[in-house]
Amino acid sequence: MTGWSCLVTGAGGFLGQRMVRMLVQEKELQEVRALYKVFRPQNREELSNLQTKTKVTWLEGDILDAHCLRRACQGITTVMHTAANISVSASQRETIMDVNLKGTQLLLEACIQASVPVFIYTSSVAVAAPNSYKEIIQNGHEEEHHGTTWTAPYPYSKKLAEKAVLAANGSTLKNGGTLWTCSLRPMYIYGEGSPVLSHLVVETLRNKGVLRGGGKHSEVNPVYVGNVAWAHILASRSLRDPKKAASIGGQFYYISDDTPHQSYDDLNYNLTKKWGFQPDSRQSLPLSLMYWLAFLLEAMSIFLSPIYKYQPPFDRYLLTLTNSVYTFSYKKAQRDLGYKPLNTWEEAKEKTVEWIGSLVEKHNDTT
């Protein structure tokens, strides 16, 4: 387990950046190779100045560029594949499927050709649930065999990509070794740097401090970004251990933490109320009526498609995703990977709230 190196894909993203920061603190890690396509300049500069003995190599490239992936994998012992298109827009179906599924398949092939023995895939709770806003899943676990039935591009592409990753477990590498793979399924991820929260703050400030509702019927267990990154590191330790790899390889794990179960609307309020944000007090339409309205808007989009590209403001998948009861336990990850959240809810909330405060202050300084 000594003298290892790690490639992180999607290193310019919300989770990828946190993983790079955490990885450089790992003992015996000789190099972190960070592959990114898009990177905010200030974030790149901050990460480039990390005080560490570990070599950090930044690679700009595309997950769909097979030559780039082969080059990135040379000499690497562990791949953490977090690059993804997380859009839920049906209009971007081809792009989402290409990045999430084809990109993963190309990376798996590059690992086999470069004899990379460990592959950890950042999946999503979306591959498991929710399938219906009427279905209730509380403290779900891996043995219950939950699986998405949606053909919407994001959950469908992530489901197929995860299937490919787990099927590749046990593959023979070019040097005769064995490829060990596993998949981590985080809940909705929050924390400093979240693009979803950043967008929410900007929109709420434009809306005079009133939070837009839309998820009050949900009950979920969000997970802090630092805890998700930590789970990846623990998975890499386990798969690099010959005594553990055979039992963990080919497995998937739900990754949550001790963030209280709550609605998306309550989470947003809990993270922003310190800065004067208020929940939307307006009455909303019944969920069943909204669902049928979404169905009609989707039908209209299909009907108009030959002459006009109409993008509905919401669809049945997005409505179900944001208004369902679905929570999952991390007990299997605790048992197999030794996973225990690094950050408590109070610590995660404090860090996130302070970061949101910096966004509010920055917005006020420019207006």
Which of 327-352 are b and which e, b meaning 16 or more Cβ less than 10 Å from the residue's Cβ? Answer: bbebebbeebbebebbbeeeebbebb
- Of 36, 121, 133, 154, the catalytic one is 154
Per the DSSP assignment, residues forming a β-bridge with 254 are 185
Which of 41-61 are b and which e, b meaning 16 or more Cβ less than 10 Å from the residue's Cβ? Answer: eeebeebeeeeeebebebbeb
3-state class (DSSP) for residue 221: coil
Give the residue among 97, 91, 95, 152 at the shortest CA–CA distance from 318: 152
3-state class (DSSP) for residue 43: helix
**CA 87 from chain center: how many Å?**
11
Give the residue among 107, 192, 185 at the shortest CA–CA distance from 146: 185
* Residue indicated by tokens 């800065």: 275
Please give the C-alpha separations between residue 222 and each of 308, 334, 357, in angstroms, as whole numbers: 38, 17, 20
Read out DSSP for 20-32?
HHHHTTSTTEEEE
Residue 224 is among the residues annotated as catalytic for this protein: no
**CA 300 from chain center: how many Å?**
31
Q: Six-digit token pair at 352?
A: 């996130």
Catalytically active residues are: 154
